[in-house]
């Protein structure tokens, strides 16, 4: 049974490939220069075949495919159904739902332009995220550790924080010299707020006894901040980073409406206005894959840093 | 020998909102000799933990002074180690790093790496260096907390009901461990406890405190050879003496009927 499950993605992809060959296309509007879907399916078949075979001797491959097989098989099945509904029988409007071939064709044929969009989005996101992260970290520490900070800064944080990025656009456009700086500011702001709130609440939730113990071990005020307060607040900070990352993705899409001439969000908007939906989907696909990769990386990083939280085996 | 504590007319009041202040300690005089093992015992609210925190420097007295070897105690320092009922190990550090914490703070780790292993050995945790605190049992965590405090070679080790949360068997084991460590290190020990047997079993001197006004009721020297037998007649005599001072002497009530 398990062995059969391991072959599910391969079978599902082979089925999709068979159907694509067997059924005629409903209209030439769906066709691209190359049958990209078939190429993709063949790649998938090869990939999952290799894993299913490797599972016979490699434990890692076995664990991976046993965990993923069902999901991968289902996703490929959905792709198959979409292909049948659109390209093969044209049951949904062509203009809004282009074939998979067309979407993949955009990614392949428009790759250099998409890459430049990707890079400029990446630069904007990175600049905004890192500056927002640093600002939030510092504000959070000041608010968390000093009564002064809590009294004067916290109300400001609470007032400014929940204002959505779009509401800032009129002010930001006037206040910043370039649209890049303005966009980076919007992204930074959206990271800054959750980071500040979670860092300061993490620090104020640290058990007082940790500070007491550390002071009897010879810790000065400075040590208490960096050797006790911050490590103890780390789990909270990671929640702040995650929330910040999510809102920065949203803010990025908003920010790219501020007159920048490049970027994935801008690309999607522009193509939507031109009713080029295969380009819209291609852009969205890249955005989705990138963002989910970034979140996965963040999760890995957190698991590595917060290793001490894992496992509750007692002996 | 170092580690003599001298407290003179210590008074500590805690302000409770609007209501009059609560006096936690009222003019306490106390001298603890270097290398002595002293237990503070008494019902809750008698100020024994307050006294311990004053010696640690975590709080300051309203009146009176405490000296450790002629130095006035004003703030916490690594000269006075503290172990709580809850081990309070830092959960983000493994056991080795927890024990090395004090050395690292004072930038003495580089020259003294072997010291960490030495103290892990002392408390019998050499095999658990890489474990994280949540992976240890209560007794083991408390040993790690002891090692963490002792690695600073404090002049005094302050223990606030260190074994209060452990089960009876683990507690008795830990008491023997503590005695062994005390003999090896020669540190002055001041322990707060609720357990009369524990106090007699471990201490050179038991200080009985009474609440409201919080003060020292009596200081009893325990002149028994170690290892002490928990059921010897001398032990039991001391036990009932202390219980009597604490008002738990047990009035003999005539039963209503005899079977």
Domain residue limits, chain A: 2-109, 111-306
Q: Which residues pair with B67 in a beta bridge?
A: B6, B72
Tens digits of residue pLDDT in B128-178: 989 999 888 988 999 999 999 989 889 999 999 999 888 888 889 889 989
Nearest-Cα residue of chain B relative to residue A219:
B105
Token pair in block for residue A224: 């208490």
Average pLDDT over residues B191-217: 88
Cβ-proximal residues to A241 (8 Å cutoff; 6+ apart), any chain? A133, A195, A298, A302
B49: tokens are 């933990």
Q: How far apart are CA B13 and CA B65, in angstroms?
A: 14
Tokens 């208490």, located at residue: A224
Grade residue B250 by pLDDT with cuts at 50, 70 and 90: low
The answer to whether residue B204 is domain-embedded is yes
Does the distance separating the beta carbons of A232 and B90 come in below 8 Å?
Answer: yes
Hey, are the CB atoms on B105 and A227 less than 8 Å from each other? yes
Q: CB pairs below 8 Å between A and B: how many?
A: 76
Higher pLDDT, A214 or A95: A214
Window 189-228 of A: residues touching B by CB (8 A cutoff) are: 207, 209-210, 212-219, 223, 227-228
Q: How far B57 CA lies from chain A's nearest CA (Å)?
A: 8
Confidence category of residue A42, pLDDT binned at 50, 70, 90? very high
Most B-contacting residue of A203, A214, A218, A312 (CB-CB within 10 A), to test interface: A218
Residue B96 lies in a domain: no
| Over residues B184-212, mean pLDDT | 90
Instruction: Determine, for residues A216 and B135 on separate chains, whether the beta-carbon distance falls below 8 Å.
Output: no
Cβ within 8 Å, pair A217-B105: yes
Of A126, A123, A110, A128, the residue nearest A267 (C-alpha): A110
* Alpha-carbon distances of A286 from A81, A271, B57, rounded to whole Å: 22, 14, 60
Measured between CA atoms, the residue of chain B closest to residue A226 is B105
Q: How many helices (H) and strands (E) does chain B have?
A: 7, 10
- pLDDT value of position B66: 92
Of A217, A308, A315, the CB nearest to B102: A217
For B13-51, give one letter per residue: b (16+ CB within 10 A) or e: eeeeeeeeeebbbbebebebebbbbbbbbbeeebbbbbb
State the DSSP code for B255. P
B110: in domain: no
pLDDT tens sequence across A134-152: 999 999 999 999 889 899 9
Domain that holds residue B172: 5-88+154-245
| Cα distance between residue A205 and residue A196, in whole Å | 14
Query: Are A20 and A35 spatial neighbours (Cβ–Cβ below 8 Å)?
Result: yes
Calculate how close chain B gets to A231, using CA atoms only, in Å: 7
- Taking an 8 Å cut-off on Cβ atoms, the answer to whether B76 and A315 are in contact is no
Nearest CA in chain B to A231: B92
**Which residue(s) pair with B209 in the sheet?**
B216
CB contact (8 A) between residue A312 and residue B134: yes
| DSSP states along B157-179 | EEEESTTTTS-HHHHHHHHHHHH
Q: How far is A188 from chain B (nearest CA, A)?
A: 29
pLDDT band per the 50, 70, 90 thresholds, residue B96: very high
Q: Examine residue B227 and say whether the peptide bond preceding it is cis (omega within 30 degrees of 0).
A: yes
pLDDT at residue number A313: 35
ipTM: 0.88
A207 → chain B, closest CA residue: B88
Q: Which of A213, A215, A309 to mutate to test the interface with B (most CBs of B within 10 A)?
A: A213
Rounded Cα–Cα distance for residues A169 and B48 (Å) = 62
**Which pLDDT tens digit goes with each residue over A215-237?**
999 888 888 999 999 999 998 99
What mean pLDDT do residues A187-193 have?
94
Under an 8 A CB cutoff, do A314 and B148 touch? no
Write out chain A residues lying below 8 Å of B81, CB-based. 216-217
Query: Which tens digits make up the pLDDT trace of B55-73?
Result: 999 998 888 899 998 889 9
- Between residues B62 and B1, the one the model is more confident about: B62
Contact between chains at A308 and B92 (C-beta distance less than 8 A): yes
> Is residue B249 predicted with pLDDT exceeding 70?
no
- Please list every residue in chain A whose beta carbon sits closer than 8 Å to the beta carbon of residue B150: none
Q: Which residues contact A113 (CB under 8 A, 6 or more apart)?
A: none
Answer whether B150's CB lies under 8 Å from B187's CB.
Answer: yes
B258: pLDDT strictly greater than 70: no
Q: How many CB atoms within 10 Å of residue A37?
A: 24
Closest by Cβ to A218, choosing from B56, B77, B94? B77
Q: Is the Cβ pair A217, B56 closer than 8 Å? A: no
| Mean pLDDT computed over A125-140 | 95
Residue of A210, A215, A216 to mutate when probing chain B, most B C-beta within 10 A: A216
| CATH architecture of the domain with range A111-306 | Orthogonal Bundle (1.10)
- Of residues A216, A313, A314, nearest to B56 (C-beta): A216
pLDDT given at position B255: 67
First to last CA, chain B: 60
Q: What is the pLDDT of residues A22-37, one digit of tens each?
A: 988 888 777 788 889 9
CA distance A213 to chain B (A): 7
Q: How is residue B24 written in tokens?
A: 């936690």
Please indicate, yes or no, if residue B62 is contained in any of the structural domains: yes
Torsion angle of the four alpha carbons B44, B50, A202, A313, in this order, in degrees rounded to the nearest 10: -60
Q: What is the pLDDT of residue A48?
A: 93
Q: Which residues of B touch A311 (CB under 8 A)?
A: 132, 134-135
Q: How large a percentage of chain A has pLDDT more than 90? A: 55
Answer yes or no: is B241 within a domain.
Answer: yes
The per-residue pLDDT of chain A, averaged, comes to 89
pLDDT of residue A196 exceeding 90, the answer is: yes
CA distance B54 to B61: 7
Rounded to an integer, the average pLDDT of A297-307 is 87
Task: Tell me the mean pLDDT in the region B111-122.
Answer: 88
The model's pTM is 0.82
What does residue B236 show for φ and ψ, rounded to 5 degrees? -65, -35
- State the pLDDT at residue A312: 39
A232 touches chain B (CB under 8 A): yes
Bridge partners, residue B71, by sequence = B68
pLDDT band at A311; cut points 50, 70, 90: low
pLDDT range class, residue A314, cuts 50, 70, 90: very low
Q: Which sign, positive or negative, has the C-alpha torsion A87, A92, A95, A100?
A: negative
State the total domains in chain B: 1
Tell me the chain B residues in contact with residue A234 when contact means C-beta distances shorter than 8 Å: 92
The kind and range of the H/E element at B120 are helix B113-122
Q: Which residues contact B8 (CB under 8 A, 6 or more apart)?
A: B29, B64, B65, B66
The CATH number assigned to the domain holding B218 equals: 3.40.50.300
B159 domain residue, yes or no: yes
């Amino acid at each position: 049974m398990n062995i059969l499950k391991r072959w599910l993605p391969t079978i599902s992809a082979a089925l999709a490939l068979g159907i694509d060959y067997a059924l005629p296309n409903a209209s030439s509007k769906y066709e691209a220069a190359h049958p990209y879907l078939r190429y993709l399916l063949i790649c998938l078949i090869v990939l999952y075949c290799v894993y299913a075979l490797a599972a016979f001797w490699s434990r890692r491959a076995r664990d991976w495919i046993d965990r993923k097989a069902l999901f991968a098989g289902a996703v490929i099945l959905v792709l198959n159904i979409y292909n049948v509904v659109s390209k093969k029988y044209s049951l949904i409007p062509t203009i809004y739902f282009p074939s998979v071939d067309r979407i993949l064709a955009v990614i392949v044929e428009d790759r250099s332009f998409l890459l430049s969009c990707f890079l400029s989005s990446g630069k904007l996101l990175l600049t905004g995220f890192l500056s927002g992260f640093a600002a939030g970290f510092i504000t959070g520490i000041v608010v968390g550790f000093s009564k002064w900070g809590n009294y004067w800064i916290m109300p400001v944080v609470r007032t400014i924080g929940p204002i959505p990025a779009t509401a800032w656009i009129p002010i930001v456009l006037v206040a910043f010299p370039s649209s890049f700086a303005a966009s980076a500011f919007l992204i930074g702001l959206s990271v800054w707020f959750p980071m500040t709130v979670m860092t300061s609440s993490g620090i104020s939730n640290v058990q007082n006894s940790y500070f007491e113990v550390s002071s009897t071990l010879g810790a000065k005020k400075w040590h208490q901040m960096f050797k006790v307060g911050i490590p103890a607040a780390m789990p909270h900070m990671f929640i702040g980073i995650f929330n910040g990352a999510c809102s920065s993705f949203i803010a990025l899409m908003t920010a790219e409406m501020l007159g920048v001439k490049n970027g994935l969000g801008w690309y999607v908007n522009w193509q939507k206005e031109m009713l080029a939906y295969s380009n819209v989907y291609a852009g969205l696909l890249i955005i989705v894959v990138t963002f989910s990769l970034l979140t996965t990386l963040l999760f890995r990083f957190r698991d590595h840093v917060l290793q001490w939280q894992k496992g509750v085996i007692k002996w | 020998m170092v580690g003599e504590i001298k407290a003179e007319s210590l008074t500590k009041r805690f302000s409770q909102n609007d209501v009059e202040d609560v006096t936690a300690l009222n003019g306490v005089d106390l001298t603890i000799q270097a290398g002595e093992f002293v237990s503070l015992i008494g019902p809750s609210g008698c100020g024994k933990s307050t006294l311990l925190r004053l010696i640690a420097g975590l709080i300051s007295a309203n009146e009176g002074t405490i000296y450790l070897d002629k130095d006035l105690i004003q703030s916490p320092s690594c000269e006075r180690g503290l172990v709580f009922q809850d081990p309070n190990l830092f959960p983000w550090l493994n056991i080795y790093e927890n024990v090395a914490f004090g050395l690292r703070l004072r930038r003495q780790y580089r020259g003294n790496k072997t010291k960490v292993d030495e103290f892990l050995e002392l408390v019998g945790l050499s095999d658990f260096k890489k474990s994280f605190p949540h992976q240890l049992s209560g007794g083991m965590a408390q040993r790690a907390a002891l090692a963490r405090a002792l690695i600073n070679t404090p002049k005094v080790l302050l223990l606030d009901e260190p074994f209060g949360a452990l089960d009876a068997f683990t507690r008795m084991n830990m008491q023997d461990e503590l005695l062994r460590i005390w003999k090896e290190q020669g540190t002055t020990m001041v322990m707060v406890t609720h357990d009369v047997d524990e106090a007699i079993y471990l201490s050179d001197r038991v200080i009985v405190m009474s609440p409201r006004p919080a003060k020292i009721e009596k200081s009893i020297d325990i002149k028994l050879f170690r290892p002490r037998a928990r059921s010897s007649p001398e032990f039991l005599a001391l036990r009932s003496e202390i219980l009597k001072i604490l008002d738990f002497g047990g009035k003999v009530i005539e039963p209503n009927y005899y079977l």
